[in-house]
């Protein structure tokens, strides 16, 4: 099998807070309440045709840990799903699980109602759209491209403008929640785009998300919200790693530290979620260090352009850069704690 463009293999960090009044109405549902919420949504969207509310032809580009779960959730919801990935093994696995496979984005997008792009960054998204064998060659008019990569909002606006000029729809829809929630169809999706894009994409969004935030009628808003989330997530991971390594330096039982902090005011979602990786000495990448090198770097670029100081996230970026430089860039992002341990001579679980 010839190979597709890119593989997305690192999950994004989880979003833990509901956005406020700036967001358009969203649904936040338990699985038990999902069908009722969807029926209400469908009733409000009078422009949605019967064809978009039933089975859709969907291409998922990028069958990494997040994309594979999203593809299986779409298939489970009754959609016809074609997967494409740089890894022929990932495509073969999806075909074995009952999906269809394609060797290029263009092949996957042929005749599709929706393309869901689950790759790492803006450059890969642009290549999938407009590069050789890109989806823009074959994607039908009035279909929708759902972009899930984390990127600079200005880039999202540019890509949307270029695609919409061809008669297709672009939905800026970064994701949060991790691989397990992707497989369960329970992601948080931070989306912005035209009413037509939302209407076309609604059944697919429902299949993939437990929480959908409709954040504006133009691309870029979803990306901007995601970058605020990533600023906080990166800072919290760096702070949690610093704290657990500092506790070890004091000779404290770090398992007891974890127990105490998770029941105290100093706790954060990232401390609670990531520090068990340190306690277990397991740095298998759920979300890699390089994700935050990229995302906190984007935040620095955005802040510099806006002439807005972000010293705390700048310090966090330096910790991720140091961890990457120490050879742990593709390891779990809790490896920042390992970097602290190496620098200070602290012994953490799993150290030899």
Q: What are phi and psi of 62, to 5 degrees?
A: 110, 95
Nearest to 102, CA basis, from 135, 75, 129: 135
The answer to whether residue 110 is catalytic is no
As a whole number of Å, the end-to-end CA separation of the chain is 42
Q: Are 43 and 33 in contact (CB under 8 A)?
A: no
Residue with structure tokens 């790693």? 241
The residues, any chain, with a CB within 8 Å of residue 127's CB and separated by 6 or more, are: 5, 6, 134
Interatomic CA distance for residues 9 and 328, integer angstroms: 16
Cα 246 vs. chain centroid, distance in angstroms?
30
Q: Please, how many CA atoms are within 13 Å of residue 341, restricted to the half-sphere of its CB?
A: 21
| Helical pair 34-44 and 195-208, crossing angle rounded to 10 deg | 170
Q: Are 18 and 215 in contact (CB under 8 A)?
A: no
The residues, any chain, with a CB within 8 Å of residue 215's CB and separated by 6 or more, are: 19, 22, 23, 24, 190, 191, 192, 221, 222, 225
Q: What are phi and psi of 24, to 5 degrees?
A: -70, 165
Interatomic CA distance for residues 8 and 67, integer angstroms: 7
Token pair in block for residue 99: 């999906």
Q: Which residues pair with 208 in a beta bridge?
A: none
Token pair in block for residue 59: 């291409």
Q: Are 217 and 199 in contact (CB under 8 A)?
A: no
Candidates 226, 294, 347, 352; catalytic one = 226
Q: Which residues pair with 117 in a beta bridge?
A: 61, 147
Q: Where in the sequence numbering do the catalytic residues fall?
A: 226
């Amino acid at each position: 099998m010839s190979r597709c463009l890119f593989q997305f293999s690192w999950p994004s960090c989880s979003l833990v807070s509901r956005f406020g009044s700036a967001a358009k109405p969203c649904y936040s549902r338990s699985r038990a309440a999902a069908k009722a919420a969807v029926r209400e949504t469908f009733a409000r969207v009078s422009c949605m045709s019967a064809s978009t509310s039933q089975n859709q032809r969907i291409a998922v580009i990028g069958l990494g840990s997040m994309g594979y779960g999203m593809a299986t959730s779409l298939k489970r919801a009754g959609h016809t799903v074609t997967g494409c990935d740089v890894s022929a093994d990932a495509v073969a696995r999806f075909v074995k699980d009952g999906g269809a496979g394609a060797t290029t984005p263009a092949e996957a997008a042929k005749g599709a109602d929706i393309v869901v792009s689950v790759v790492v960054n803006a450059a890969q998204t642009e290549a999938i759209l407009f590069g050789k064998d890109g989806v823009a060659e074959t994607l039908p008019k009035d279909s929708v491209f759902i972009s899930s990569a984390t990127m600079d909002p200005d880039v999202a606006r540019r890509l949307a403008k270029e695609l919409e000029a061809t008669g297709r729809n672009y939905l800026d829809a970064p994701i949060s929640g991790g691989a397990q929630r992707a497989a369960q169809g329970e992601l948080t999706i931070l989306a912005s785009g035209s009413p037509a894009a939302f209407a076309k994409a609604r059944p697919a969004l429902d299949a993939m998300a437990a929480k959908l935030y409709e954040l504006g009628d133009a691309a870029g808003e979803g990306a901007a919200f995601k970058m605020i989330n990533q600023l906080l997530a990166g800072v919290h991971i760096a702070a949690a790693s610093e704290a657990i390594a500092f506790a070890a330096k004091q000779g404290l039982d770090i398992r007891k530290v974890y127990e105490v902090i998770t029941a105290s005011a100093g706790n954060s979602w990232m401390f609670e979620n990531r520090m068990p990786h340190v306690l277990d000495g397991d740095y298998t990448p759920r979300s890699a260090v390089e994700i935050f090198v990229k995302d906190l770097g984007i935040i620095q670029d955005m802040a510099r352009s806006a002439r807005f100081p972000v010293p705390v996230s700048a310090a966090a970026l330096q910790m991720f850069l140091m961890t990457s430089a120490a050879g742990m860039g593709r390891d779990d992002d809790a490896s920042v704690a390992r970097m602290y341990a190496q620098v200070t001579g602290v012994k953490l679980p799993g150290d030899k």
